[in-house]
Protein backbone atom coordinates (compact mmCIF):
# COMPACT_ATOMS: atom_id res chain seq x y z
CA UNK A 1 0.00 0.00 0.00
CA UNK A 2 1.38 3.42 -0.97
CA UNK A 3 1.97 5.95 1.78
CA UNK A 4 0.35 9.33 1.19
CA UNK A 5 1.91 12.45 2.64
CA UNK A 6 -0.14 14.55 5.02
CA UNK A 7 -0.13 18.25 4.20
CA UNK A 8 0.93 20.43 7.12
CA UNK A 9 0.74 24.22 7.00
CA UNK A 10 3.24 26.02 9.22
CA UNK A 11 2.01 29.61 9.57
CA UNK A 12 3.94 32.37 11.31
CA UNK A 13 1.36 35.06 12.02
CA UNK A 14 3.40 37.56 14.04
CA UNK A 15 4.22 40.77 12.19
CA UNK A 16 6.29 42.40 14.94
CA UNK A 17 9.94 43.31 14.48
CA UNK A 18 11.26 41.32 17.44
CA UNK A 19 9.44 38.03 17.04
CA UNK A 20 10.40 34.57 18.16
CA UNK A 21 7.66 32.59 16.42
CA UNK A 22 9.50 32.55 13.09
CA UNK A 23 12.36 30.59 14.67
CA UNK A 24 9.96 28.03 16.09
CA UNK A 25 8.07 27.84 12.80
CA UNK A 26 11.22 27.25 10.76
CA UNK A 27 12.45 24.66 13.27
CA UNK A 28 9.18 22.75 13.06
CA UNK A 29 9.05 23.09 9.25
CA UNK A 30 12.51 21.55 8.84
CA UNK A 31 11.69 18.74 11.30
CA UNK A 32 8.46 17.98 9.43
CA UNK A 33 10.20 18.18 6.03
CA UNK A 34 12.58 15.41 7.11
CA UNK A 35 9.65 13.01 7.50
CA UNK A 36 8.47 11.05 4.48
CA UNK A 37 4.86 11.00 5.68
CA UNK A 38 4.49 14.81 5.88
CA UNK A 39 4.36 17.48 3.20
CA UNK A 40 4.86 20.77 5.06
CA UNK A 41 4.43 24.26 3.62
CA UNK A 42 5.85 27.36 5.33
CA UNK A 43 3.97 30.66 5.29
CA UNK A 44 5.24 33.81 6.96
CA UNK A 45 2.50 36.45 6.94
CA UNK A 46 5.12 39.19 7.22
CA UNK A 47 6.26 38.37 3.68
CA UNK A 48 2.77 38.99 2.25
CA UNK A 49 2.93 42.79 2.68
CA UNK A 50 -0.46 43.17 4.35
CA UNK A 51 -0.90 46.96 4.56
CA UNK A 52 -3.03 47.02 7.74
CA UNK A 53 -0.39 45.30 9.82
CA UNK A 54 2.93 46.86 8.85
CA UNK A 55 3.32 48.54 12.22
CA UNK A 56 5.60 47.04 14.86
CA UNK A 57 2.75 47.32 17.38
CA UNK A 58 -0.19 44.91 17.70
CA UNK A 59 -3.19 45.96 15.55
CA UNK A 60 -5.31 46.95 18.58
CA UNK A 61 -2.63 49.41 19.74
CA UNK A 62 -2.44 50.96 16.28
CA UNK A 63 -6.24 51.43 16.22
CA UNK A 64 -6.21 53.05 19.68
CA UNK A 65 -3.43 55.45 18.64
CA UNK A 66 -5.41 56.58 15.61
CA UNK A 67 -8.35 57.50 17.80
Domain around 22: 6-66
Distance (Å, whole) CA 67 – CA 55: 16
Handedness of CA 8, 13, 18, 21 (dihedral sign): negative
Query: How confident is the model over 21-60, as pLDDT tens digits?
Result: 999 999 999 999 999 999 999 999 888 877 665 556 666 6
Distance (Å, whole) CA 7 – CA 31: 14
pTM: 0.67
3-class DSSP state of 10? strand
**47 within domain boundaries:** yes
**1 within domain boundaries:** no
Domains identified in the chain, total number: 1
Amino acid sequence: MACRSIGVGVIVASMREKRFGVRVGRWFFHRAKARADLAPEFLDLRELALPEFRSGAPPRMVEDARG
